[in-house]
Structure 1
Amino acid sequence: MEVRRLGPEDAEAFVKVRLEGLQTDPDAFGATYEEDAARPMAEWKERLSQGPQGDSGYFGAFVAGELVGIIGYFRHRGIKARHKAAVVSMYVREAHRGTGIAQALMHEELAYLKARGDISQVQLAVVTSNPGAVRFYEKMGFVPYGYEKQALKVGERYVDETLMYVLLHE
């Protein structure tokens, strides 16, 4: 297994995995399959280009050259909140779950954010309907700090989220 930052050259493989995640686990993402499927490839390549500051990006896990898991991050923009980043878009293809890929992705992303030296807190939101994901994040050192009722609306029903954080420099 190889875990590395993704770039524009990975856009097609990334979109394939991302869209699969949106279909497989629609409650776990803020976006919908329909809206992401409609995005042009140029937009995905731009998202994966990191930008000069590297304030957002994605990591991917590859097995035998195939992208099987993704995780993203973005740094908060405001001057008083720039010490925080958020984990987004975590997904591992079903056939590769339970193999350590999710842990490797999270370790790589947190190590990158910590090595930057200017990010001290990482946050995430996880749907309460996925207790396995909550336990995974707890094992990775995240602790709950809040609960958002009706955080997402999926069709005509609502999904609640647990808000979690980890401090990088403790």
Structure 2
Amino acid sequence: MEIRLLVPNDAQALAAIRLEALEQEPEAFGASLEEEKKKSLEDWQARLALSNQGESGYFGAFEEGEIVGLIGYFRHKGAKVRHKAVIVSMYVKQAHRGTGVARELMQATLAHLQAFGDIDQVQLAVVTSNQAAVRFYEKMGFQPFGQEKRALKIGDKYVDETHMYLLF
């Protein structure tokens, strides 16, 4: 298994796994499948080009050249909040769940964020009903600090989120 920061040449792999994630787990993400399907390959390449300027990025887990997992991050920009980063877009293909891929992705991302030297808090939001994900984040050291009712609206259904943090 190879875990690495994605680059613009990975745009097609990013688009494929991101669309799969939105199709398989629509309640877990703030973006919608319909919105993301409208993006061109150039849009995905631009997203990755911007992501490698230190403010945000995506790590991919690859097995035999195929992307099987994804995690993203961004750091806050304001002077008073630059010490915080946010984990986004965590997804592992169904066939690879329970194999350690998520743990390796998270560990790589946390090590990357810690290497900045000035980030000391990492936050994330997880759908409250996804108890397996909540437990995973707790095992990784994240602690809940609040719940957001009706965080997402999908059609006529609302989804609550648990907000979590990890201090370095």
Instruction: Give the alignment's TM-score, normalised by structure 1.
Output: 0.96
What residue is the counterpart of 2:41 in the other structure?
41
Moved more, 85-94 or 49-58: 49-58
SS at match of 1:20: helix
Whole-Å Cα distance in 2 between the matches of residues 58 and 48 of structure 1? 8
> What residue number does 2:119 align with?
119
Instruction: Return the alpha-carbon distance in structure 2 between the equivalents of residues 51 and 140 of structure 1.
Output: 24
Does residue 10 in structure 1 map to residue 15 in structure 2? no
**Conservation of the 8 A alpha-carbon contact between 2:7 and 2:48:** yes
Counterpart contact for 1:11–1:41, Cα < 8 Å: yes
Whole-angstrom distance in 1 between the partners of 2:52 and 2:16: 26
Cα offset, 1:40, TM superposition: 1.7
CA distance in 2 between counterparts of 1:97 and 1:67 reads 13
Q: What is the CA deviation profile of residues 25-57 of structure 1, one whole-angstrom value per residue up to 9, with x for unaligned ones?
A: 000000000000101221211111245741101
Distance 1:71 1:52 in 2: 14
For structure 2, list consecutive stretches of 5 or more residues without a partner in the other structure: none
Does the alignment pair 1:131 with 2:139? no
Q: TM-score, normalised by structure 2?
A: 0.98
Q: CA deviation at 1:140?
A: 0.3
Moved more, 70-79 or 49-58: 49-58
1:62 aligns to 2:62 (yes or no): yes
Which residue number in structure 1 is paired with residue 108 of structure 2?
108
Identity of aligned residues (%): 62
For 1:52 and 1:10, the matched residues in 2 are separated by: 12
| Equivalent runs, 1:24-103 vs 2, <5 Å | 24-50=24-50, 53-103=53-103
Q: Which amino acid aligns with 1:39?
A: K
State the distance in 2 between where 1:148 and 1:51 align.
Answer: 27
Whole-angstrom CA distance in 2 between matches of 1:118 and 1:50:
20
Are the counterparts in 2 of residues 4 and 61 from structure 1 also a CA contact under 8 Å?
Answer: yes
Unaligned regions of 5+ residues in structure 1, if any? none
Displacement of 1:129 in angstroms is 1.2
Distance 1:109 1:132, change over 3 A: same
1:147 matched to which residue of 2? 147
Change beyond 3 A, Cα 1:34–1:95: same
Count of residue pairs brought into register by the alignment: 168
One-letter code of the match for 1:134?
V
Note closer, same or farther for the CA distance 1:51–1:135 as it changes in structure 2 (3 Å cut).
closer
Kept in 2, the 8 Å contact 1:7–1:50? The answer is no
